Amino acid sequence: MTIEQPVGLTGLGVLNALPVRAARAELLTCCASRHWADEVAAGRPYPGLAALRSASAVALAARDWAGIREALAAHPRIGDRPQGDDREAGWSRGEQSGADAADDEIRAALVAGNRAYEERFGHVFLICATGLSAAEMLAALRARLGNDTGTEQAAVRYELTRIVDLRLAKLLDAIGFGARAGTTNGRTE
């Protein structure tokens, strides 16, 4: 899909000006919950990033657990290197870059921890990994394995909100750059 982006708009201006379908597609790179993306796209225009993040948090809080699981399905395991050159894969690689320097022992412990977590809770372990080392991610994974289901679901919602907040800012930077550079949907036209 090629969307004409007006040159000179900020990223938020571009997001506010996009047709609903295009805005929804952009938002889905931040969070894979379709209902979340629908609600956030429908709430435009936003006066600033804080308002966008607030609307995002309200939409995430309104999701039932099935909606949260839909969002989780797009997240790779901690320590896995997401494949592809799309925006979301690139963000995931950057967010988990603290795991890149992990030694073999920590990598093996992450694999085992991920497996134990998924067996216990039925979904990937989610943590806002930005700025965390592999050892810190592993420590959090091990600590959260002791949570009951309700406590863990609350932790997942919290971490998902943090990740989406970061990605919304990245999205605005990405689409704002395209508008300033005279591109559409990240491609020079």
Q: What is the pLDDT of residues 71-99, one digit of tens each?
A: 999 888 887 766 677 767 666 666 665 66
- The C-alpha atoms of residue 51 and residue 38 are separated, in whole angstroms, by 16
- First CA to last CA across the chain, in angstroms? 13
* Residue 187: per-residue pLDDT: 31
Q: Is the peptide bond before 45 cis (omega within 30 degrees of 0)?
A: yes
Q: What is the pLDDT of residues 97-153, one digit of tens each?
A: 566 677 889 989 999 999 999 999 999 999 998 889 999 999 999 999 999 999 999
* Domain spans, the chain: 11-188
Please provide the CATH number assigned to the domain covering 11-188.
Answer: 1.10.3330.10
- The C-alpha atoms of residue 32 and residue 126 are separated, in whole angstroms, by 14
Tell me the whole-structure pTM to 2 decimals: 0.84
* Residue 39: per-residue pLDDT: 98
The pLDDT of residue 23 is above 90: yes
pLDDT tier at 3, thresholds 50, 70, 90? very low
* Residue 37: per-residue pLDDT: 98
